[in-house]
Structure 1
Amino acid sequence: MIVSGSASQSLAAELARELEEPLAAVDYDRFPDGELLASIPDPDLEGAERAIVVASTVSSDAHVELLQLQDALREAEVDEVVTVLPYMGYARQDRIFEAGQPISSRAVARAISSGTDRVLTVTPHEAAVCDFFEPSATAVDAAGRLAEPLPEDLTDPVFLSPDAGAIDLAETVRDAYGDGETDYFEKVRHSGTDVEITPSDVDVEGRDVVVTDDIIATGSTMSEAVAVLGDRGVGDVYVTCVHALLVRNAYAKLARAGVEAIYGTDTLEGPTSAVSVAPIVAEHL
């Protein structure tokens, strides 16, 4: 049985179809004082062998909702509870940056671990966050899915990662697409406010470019990089990422920079959700 968090209903439905498992009825309510109540009024739930909760923790409310769904499954005496985090909130707060700060990803991982037997998380920004779960979580790499929505007729394509450390992501998308070259952006800081962003080596003139990333939040760095590509005579520029947060005016920034299209997955459901991660998640279930 598949149980959906309110932020992951489309992906949960896709996963139910992929696994040929039923999709549970779930209610999401809020009391007048602001407190949440997520419940599973499904008569087939009691004593089920396995329930898979699919819930992107995109907000503090989503975290609470997930804990409530897990607890409801325990209360129904489900034999095995599996938690799928398509997008794990707080995953980038994976270390102490200043004295007195918590390791937030560890804190939320411990809370989630208390109500589940197994955890999967899709393309975390740092795979090491999986070790914060008890027992550890499994990271599902969805980067290969990013090639699917791309046009089939890209001109001599170049796949660019945001930095040298993420070149594996660009290579994975290129390999899934079946053609092209890979490169990465270099950032040269000339002053506190002057940062030069350029592709490291490859010639992009007249070539289509696919900029790959795991997460796009504000789009500021990405839009600057795309603008540089425009100055170098690039063909069409496509942006593809696993987790398209696109907060505030990120979409507009990228469009103004000259991006032809933005493709994301359904780990975060929205207008850029061009491909589902359900098939790759299903392989781990």
Structure 2
Amino acid sequence: MLVPGSASQSLAAALAAETGRPLATPEYRWFPDGEECASVPDLAASAESGGSNDGTPAETVVVASTPSNDALVELLQLQDACREAGVDRVTTVLPYMGYARQDSSFGPGEPVSARAVARAVSTGTDRVVLVNPHERGVTEYFDCETAVVDAAARLAAPLPDDLSEPVFLAPDASAESLAASARDAYGRGSTDFFEKERDRETGEVSVHPHDADVAGRDVIVVDDIVATGSTMSHAVAALHDRDCGRVFAACVHGVLAGNARVKLAAAGVESVFATDTIERGETAVSVAPALVDAL
């Protein structure tokens, strides 16, 4: 049985369609002091094959992104509801893991927030599946079996068929594999990454493609996450300075905080494509097909 968090309803529905697993309908209520209680009434009535004698499913898969503190607490409650119902095995799919970028301490007395979150999530599950965590090293913080799914190839699906000599650009050399995954799925084009150079006299930083000539070519800037949009906006401006063709932004996790979407449009991005790890208007493709084998 699939148990969706409120921030991952569309993805859970897509996973149910891909896998044929039944989809639970959690219920939410709030107490006068603002506390939430997330429950899964379907667990009591479920009678999956292979379950226990009282009809409780043998396994549940909780599918819940945690883009907010409330979503994180909700996930912990859904996990506990599965345990309380007597489920034998709980798998937790974290399509987007909040706090994953805080993977180290930034100063004396500060926490490693990714570790704190991972430990909390680990207490209620037997296994965790992550989708393109910003730093793969966060897997070491979980106290249970952990798997990572690369969904970058899914970013090719919403791209136009008529791209002109496409260049798939990563924000830096370490992320060029993301661009290569999207390029391979699209079926043609080249890859490159951005480099930063600092002027020794002025101290100004310029951003430019490492090797590719983008003049007249359509460019797809591929990243795992777009948060504020500032870095990508500067990169896109550099592309237009080199007379590129159309520019598209594609990311697995479309956080797009604050005025990020406006920044990208102002910089000359024609379209922004994201997956349903975070469900919003820019969601153009589901990561469900990429998750199937991990489940």
TM-score, scaled to structure 2: 0.94
Is 1:194 the counterpart of 2:204 in the alignment?
yes
> Which stretches of structure 1, 4 residues or longer, exceed 4 Å deviation after superposition?
none
Give a deviation string over 1:206-248, Cα, whole Å, max 9, x none: 1000000000000011011101111111100010000000000
Corresponding residue of 1:44? 45
Corresponding residue of 2:118? 109
Is 1:266 the counterpart of 2:276 in the alignment?
yes
For 2:188, the aligned partner's letter is: D
For 1:227, the aligned partner's letter is: A
State which of 208, 226, 236 in structure 2 corresponds to 1:226: 236
State which of 134, 157, 171 in structure 2 corresponds to 1:162: 171
Task: Report how far residue 193 of structure 1 moved.
Answer: 7.2
How far apart, in 1, do the equivalents of 2:203 and 2:263 lie?
Answer: 19
Aligned positions of 1:1-285 closer than 5 A: 1-42=1-42, 43-45=44-46, 47-190=56-199, 194-285=204-295
Task: Report how far residue 195 of structure 1 moved.
Answer: 1.9
Where do 5+ consecutive residues of structure 2 fail to align? 47-54
How far apart, in 1, do the equivalents of 2:165 and 2:184 lie?
Answer: 14
For 1:258, the aligned partner's letter is: G
For 1:242, the aligned partner's letter is: V
Give the SS at the match of 2:294: coil
Task: Report how far residue 136 of structure 1 moved.
Answer: 3.8
Task: Report how far residue 29 of structure 1 moved.
Answer: 2.0
How far apart, in 2, do the equivalents of 1:9 and 1:187 lie?
Answer: 39
How far apart, in 2, do the equivalents of 1:271 and 1:77 lie?
Answer: 37
For 2:8, the aligned partner's letter is: S
Task: Report how far residue 102 of structure 1 moved.
Answer: 1.0
Task: Report how far residue 134 of structure 1 moved.
Answer: 1.1
Task: Report how far residue 172 of structure 1 moved.
Answer: 1.1
Alignment length, in residue pairs? 285
Checking the alignment, whether the CA contact within 8 Å between 2:2 and 2:60 is kept in structure 1 is yes
Checking the alignment, whether the CA contact within 8 Å between 1:185 and 1:198 is kept in structure 2 is yes
How far apart, in 1, do the equivalents of 2:75 and 2:27 lie?
Answer: 12
How far apart, in 1, do the equivalents of 2:161 and 2:80 lie?
Answer: 45
Give a deviation string over 1:139-180, Cα, whole Å, max 9, x none: 111011111111111100001000111111111111111111
Corresponding residue of 2:50? none
How far apart, in 2, do the equivalents of 1:230 and 1:29 lie?
Answer: 50
Where do 5+ consecutive residues of structure 1 fail to align? none
How far apart, in 2, do the equivalents of 1:38 and 1:199 lie?
Answer: 47
Give the SS at the match of 1:137: strand
TM-score, scaled to structure 1: 0.97
Give the SS at the match of 1:198: strand
Task: Report how far residue 190 of structure 1 moved.
Answer: 3.5
Identical columns (%): 60
How far apart, in 2, do the equivalents of 1:180 and 1:30 lie?
Answer: 51
